[in-house]
Structures are given as C-alpha cells and as structure tokens.
Amino acid sequence: MSKILEINNLHVEFDTYGGTVHAVRGLDLAVQKGETLAVVGESGCGKSVSFQALMGLLPMPPGRISSGSANFQGNDLLKLKESEMRPLRGSQIAMIFQDPMSSLNPTKKIGDQIAESLIIHKGMSKRDALKESLKLLELTRIGEAPKRLNQYPFEFSGGMLQRVMIAMAIACKPQLLIADEPTTALDVTIQDQILALLKDLQKEYEMSLILITHDLGVVARMADQVAVMYAGQIVENGSVDDIFYRSAHPYTLGLKQALPNSQEGKSAQLIPIDGSPPDLFSPPKACAYAARCPMARKVCLEKAPLIFEASSKHLSRCWLQHPQAPSHPELFCGERK
C-alpha cells in the first residue's frame, strides 16, 4: 500500500498570557491508502489540535506551527497558502467534528449546507447539488430524506446531526476523512450505527480514515493501525493487534486496565492511571509519562526516551524497549530516584 499522508516532526504551540503551550511536540505519523488509523489518548494530549493544524483550521495567532511537514499526495499541507488549501479542504481531505450542533449553521437548511461544498468544489448548479444532497442523506440512512432536506439543525437529534456531518464530509468523495470523536455524545445504539456507516462508506469510496478517539472499544472495532498519544507525542504505534495484545508502553497498558471487561462471569476492578498529565507550558525534558508510570526507573526521569522497535513495525517511546535493557538492568531498570 502507498502512503496517502505522511507527517514528520510536527510541532504546534499556542501563545497565551501565561506563556507558550507546547501542545504537539514532534508528531510523526503515516496513513496508508484505504486503511483506518486510530489516534487514541486522553483529553488534552494533542489529538484534535494536530489534525486541525493540518487542515489549516487553527486560529493563528494564538496558534503557531513551529516546525514539521505533512505530505499529502505531493503537497506539503503546512506550506500551502489559504488560497491553495481551500480547494483541498472538503474536496480531497474532509473532517467530521466533535460537536455537530456547533459545526452546522443554525440559520441555514440542511440541504443548503450539504449542497454548498458541491457547488464550490464540483461546480454544480444549486438544483443539481440539492439532488445530490438528497442522495447523500439517503446514503447516510436518514429517514424521510426529502423532508429533512428542508429542515434546520434544531429539528434533528444528535445522531441524525452526526449523519448530516458525515454526508457533508463525503459529498465530494474525499481521499482522506478525519473523524474527530464522531460518536462521543451519542448513546451506545446510535454509536454502533454511526461506526457501521463509516465503515461501509469507507469501503464504498475507498477512503483512508483517521479516527480520533479516547474510546478503546471504538479502536478495537474500527482500526487497522493505532497511534497512542500522550502529552503531545506518539508514545506507541502499531497494528491494532500489537496495541491490544502486545502493548509495549506503560501508558497503553494503563489505558487497557481502565477499560471495562464485558465478558460474562468475570469481574475485574478498573485500575485508573494515577496523577495528572504534565504541564505543557514547561514539558518535561525526560519521559513525559515517568511521573505517573509504575514501571519508571532512574533513566526515565533523567533522559527523554528514544523510539524503539518492540517488533516489526511496532514502535514504542519507552526505555524498557531498549535492546540492552534486559542485559543491562542496572542502566535501564535501576531504582527510581
């Protein structure tokens, strides 16, 4: 498979009255054509900010991309002017946002909002664009689609609004779809329907999908590849089987221990991750997770870990994966200070 998106050393910062927030600190990611990449991590770790930066949606100032590149089919998205980015955004790269109610215009009919991207990117007449909008509503399984086309956002439920957002995102058949917490505010039944819909549409349009989430259940169902993010960095990256069955970073293990077990006849205590994420006004020079990590040793508190191969194409930013760690425990597994 060929790479459709490759991000290298992305740094995103925000200037505030209290100082500079280092929100994303050297992000490296690649998405293959037709695959689903899940980016997982707790709130505030930099997931959404990273991809809003790629889409040119961060307010600048106070936001700033201080370094990095993002190659999308021969174009570095971070170097494009707004006039050059506009034809790509919504056409070749589309995004589904966390809160559909705040992402839709409350004063415009749903049909007009879906039709807008078709008119802009495909040059359709308004009449043809509305016909295509109707097909998109039907494709996203919204009942009474002709009636819904002429309604306003306040007349829709949360699940239906999310379907409208999906219809808008896929209107121009993008090659890459970024879904930012697409099921967060939905109940379990509707969440299941939305995920099934995304999977079907991805297969039909042969799209690559980036799924931003903190829900490991969603990751297990949807993802081919998984990137675990913590304090603005990717700490583990591998296949969905690598992440769930061969976890190589203590943070990933912590996330899994906090996941409810649904197996009948089994009861297990949920183990929370103690402590809080580091202050990104002044990020730690060593391992960002060391202060919360039950496996942390002296080296973790003194030096930033490199990225090691836990296995083929399975990467972990952890000193415990150093090739010499088993044979030199005094260097890598000494007592904590």
Q: Give yes or no for residue 267 having a pLDDT over 80.
A: no
Decide if 253 is inside a domain: yes
What is the pTM (predicted TM-score) of this model?
0.88
Q: Give yes or no for residue 164 having a pLDDT over 80.
A: yes
| pLDDT tens for each residue of 169-228 | 888 888 999 998 887 767 777 788 888 888 888 888 888 999 998 888 889 888 999 999
State what percent of residues in the chain have pLDDT above 90: 38
- For residue 262, what pLDDT band results from cuts at 50, 70 and 90? low
Same domain (yes/no): 188, 223: yes
Decide if 125 is inside a domain: yes
CA 120 to CA 89: how far, in whole Å?
A: 11
Contact 137, 164 (CB under 8 A): yes
| pLDDT tens for each residue of 66-106 | 999 999 988 899 998 888 888 888 888 999 887 777 788 89
Same domain (yes/no): 138, 3: no
Final residue in a domain of this structure, among 170, 193, 214: 170
Same domain (yes/no): 72, 137: no
- For residue 40, what pLDDT band results from cuts at 50, 70 and 90? very high
For helices 158-170 and 126-139, the axis angle rounded to 10 degrees is 120
Q: Give yes or no for residue 329 having a pLDDT over 80.
A: no
Same domain (yes/no): 188, 52: yes
Decide if 2 is inside a domain: yes
Decide if 56 is inside a domain: yes
We report the CATH number of the domain holding residue 72 as: 3.40.50.300
Same domain (yes/no): 161, 26: no
The β-bridge relationship of strands 208-213 and 176-180 is parallel
Q: What domain count does the chain have?
A: 2
**What's the pLDDT score for residue 29?**
93
CA 334 to CA 337: how far, in whole Å?
A: 9
Same domain (yes/no): 85, 185: yes
Decide if 40 is inside a domain: yes
Average pLDDT over residues 303-310: 89
Decide if 301 is inside a domain: no
Parent domain of 185: 1-92+172-285
Final residue in a domain of this structure, among 170, 185, 203: 170
Average pLDDT over residues 306-311: 88
**What's the pLDDT score for residue 163?**
86
Closest CA to 27 of 39, 19, 36, 15: 39
Q: What is the CA radius of gyration of the chain?
A: 21
Same domain (yes/no): 209, 166: no
Same domain (yes/no): 1, 88: yes
Decide if 291 is inside a domain: no
Same domain (yes/no): 181, 120: no
Final residue in a domain of this structure, among 255, 285, 315: 285
Same domain (yes/no): 160, 122: yes
**What's the pLDDT score for residue 260?**
72
Closest CA to 68 of 58, 78, 57: 78
Decide if 18 is inside a domain: yes
- For residue 109, what pLDDT band results from cuts at 50, 70 and 90? very high
Q: Give yes or no for residue 337 having a pLDDT over 50.
A: no
Same domain (yes/no): 161, 250: no
